[in-house]
């Protein structure tokens, strides 16, 4: 009461409103006595029509012409004071809240860089737009813009993630999580590395649990998944690779013999290693048998005609352990094949896909813990989760894109089972990253919270410049992070 003026400051930029006809909207604003500070028209160097309006208190609103959207109030723009904060803030924002970096654009002609972050696509939800203006290291914040509030399913867990992020990247907890005086609503608040205030508030929505990820979305590159499994031979080391090429239609991508270490590698897949998932088969001289164990489930191959694929496998002497047919209670056609070393392959009938080698299935003892680990440590998304009480198991699919476009990790929990033998046949999954060191930091935080262990600190392999790190997840499954071929 009684305050008639506020200072907006230099750091706050604008809000954004999406509208199907910005020209009409601007005219309406002017007809009501509103202030249009930039007339409607295409952006410089582009075709998107925008305008700017100023409200009675001086707040700027970008009016953006776009098709109908479920969230017209589509942007909050804040300026950050240090160039590095564009990426630091992406990391920092992602870790507490699970935001995604949608895009980053440098505009040298106008001396600024922007980054857009959020939870879904830019055209379906509100996004945070961060702007760095070349050479500007400090902005006044005034006293008008207060904060942004982000919904969470668990204020306490969110605060834990925020606390870890502030210790590593800057910022400060302002209010520890707890109920507001006189009411039961629990909140927490803090400032980011640039001093912008954020509050966490409860939501009733089960899908908005974006509150605790340590992994930065840009670090992990899904295009360079590489699974390694240890294989063997009986009469010929070429037997298993030949099975994969003849029965499954894979290509032998390369082969490497290392006589000093007494092993041979064969790399197989449906496309080049720099764009596709690949299997690495390792033959250790003189070893003719391995134990697959109980924990490893299967690999999966997508194919347009599983009936025909199964017939081809049988014609080459391969073993089909489950004949083609619809899954129980559904319509998807599947089959199962077993390779010469006992590894199972699920064959899934699916329209043409860019990645036929589409799944790795592992069994875990605590599904929720494993989901959190792969989300936080590796930046994976939970694509779907399904409980099958009739058969007493639950599955979760995780990955970096939709199931029909990339390889996914399938985690299976069998009711009441907390441990599995792992044998010595399946070795590891390897995931490409743009920065092995930053990836290892995220993994380290996740292992401290959820379990698992760093096996090899990030660094170059002896004698070569390739940098890797390795660790085991809470169930003991080994993962290697290495530079992505897509970004080398």
- Binding-site residues for Zn(2+): 280, 298, 346
HSE-CB for 324 with a 13 A CA cutoff: 17
Q: Round to whole Å and give the CA distance between 120 and 112.
A: 25
DSSP count for the chain of H helices, then E strands: 7, 28
For residue 1, with 0-12 CB atoms within 10 Å meaning exposed, 13-18 middle and 19 or more buried, which class applies? exposed
CB 40 within 8 A of CB 63: yes
HSE-CB for 110 with a 13 A CA cutoff: 11
One DSSP character per residue, 58-122 reads S-EEEEEE-S--S-SEEEEEEE-SSHHHHHHHHHHHHHHH--EEEEEEEEGGGTEEEEEEESS-T
Q: Which residues contact residue 463 at a Cβ distance below 8 angstroms, ignoring those fewer than 6 apart? A: none
Residues with catalytic annotation? 346
For residue 332, with 0-12 CB atoms within 10 Å meaning exposed, 13-18 middle and 19 or more buried, which class applies? exposed
CB 431 within 8 A of CB 480: yes
- Cα distances from 369 to residues 268, 301, 475, in angstroms, run 32, 27, 10
> Which tokens hold the place of 12?
């706050």
Instruction: Return the SS3 of 42.
Output: strand
Give the residue ranges of the annotated binding site: 280, 298, 346
Q: Round to whole Å and give the CA distance between 439 and 321.
A: 39
Name the strand (E) or helix (H) holding 144. Answer: none
Residue listed under structure tokens 């300026």 = 79
């Amino acid at each position: 009461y009684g305050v008639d003026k506020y200072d907006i400051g230099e750091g706050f930029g604008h809000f954004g409103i999406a509208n199907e006809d910005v020209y009409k909207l601007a005219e309406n604003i002017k007809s009501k006595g509103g202030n249009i500070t930039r007339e409607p028209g295409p952006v410089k160097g582009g075709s998107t029509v925008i305008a700017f309006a100023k409200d009675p208190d001086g707040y700027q609103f970008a009016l953006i012409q776009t098709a109908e959207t479920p969230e017209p109030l589509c942007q909050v723009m804040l300026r950050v004071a240090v160039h590095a904060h564009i990426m630091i803030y992406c990391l920092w924002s992602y870790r507490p809240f699970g935001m995604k970096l949608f895009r980053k654009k440098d505009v040298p002609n106008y001396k600024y860089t922007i980054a857009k972050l959020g939870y879904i696509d830019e055209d379906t939800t509100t996004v945070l737009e961060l702007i760095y203006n070349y050479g500007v290291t400090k902005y006044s914040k005034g006293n008008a813009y207060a904060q942004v509030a982000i919904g969470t399913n668990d204020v306490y867990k969110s605060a834990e993630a925020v606390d870890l992020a502030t210790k590593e990247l800057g910022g400060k907890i302002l209010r520890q999580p707890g109920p507001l005086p006189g009411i039961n609503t629990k909140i927490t608040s803090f400032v980011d590395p640039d001093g912008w205030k954020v509050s966490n508030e409860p939501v009733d929505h089960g899908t908005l649990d974006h509150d605790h990820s340590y992994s930065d979305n840009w670090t992990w590159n899904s295009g360079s998944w590489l699974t390694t499994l240890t294989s063997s031979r009986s009469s010929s080391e070429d037997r298993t690779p030949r099975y994969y090429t003849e029965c499954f239609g894979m290509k032998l991508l390369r082969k490497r013999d290392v006589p000093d270490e007494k092993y041979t590698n064969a790399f197989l897949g449906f496309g080049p290693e720099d764009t596709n998932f690949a299997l690495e088969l390792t033959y250790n001289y003189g070893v003719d048998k391995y134990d697959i164990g109980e924990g490893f489930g299967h690999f999966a191959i997508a194919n347009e005609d599983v009936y025909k694929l199964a017939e081809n496998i049988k014609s080459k002497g391969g073993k089909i352990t489950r004949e083609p047919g619809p899954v129980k209670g559904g319509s998807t056609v599947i089959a199962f094949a077993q390779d010469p070393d006992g590894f199972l392959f699920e064959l899934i009938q699916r329209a043409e896909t860019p990645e036929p080698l589409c799944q790795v299935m592992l069994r875990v003892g605590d599904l929720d813990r494993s989901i959190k680990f792969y989300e936080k440590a590796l930046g994976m998304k939970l694509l779907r989760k399904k409980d099958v009480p009739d058969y007493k198991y639950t599955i979760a699919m995780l990955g970096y894109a939709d199931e029909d476009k990339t390889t996914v990790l399938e985690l299976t929990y069998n009711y009441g089972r907390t441990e599995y033998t792992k044998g010595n046949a399946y070795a590891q999954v390897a995931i490409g990253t743009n920065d092995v060191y930053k990836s290892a930091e995220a993994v380290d935080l996740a292992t401290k919270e959820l379990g698992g262990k760093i096996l090899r600190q990030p660094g170059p392999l002896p004698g070569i410049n390739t940098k890797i790190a390795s660790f085991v997840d809470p169930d003991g499954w080994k993962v290697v992070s290495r530079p992505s071929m897509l970004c080398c």
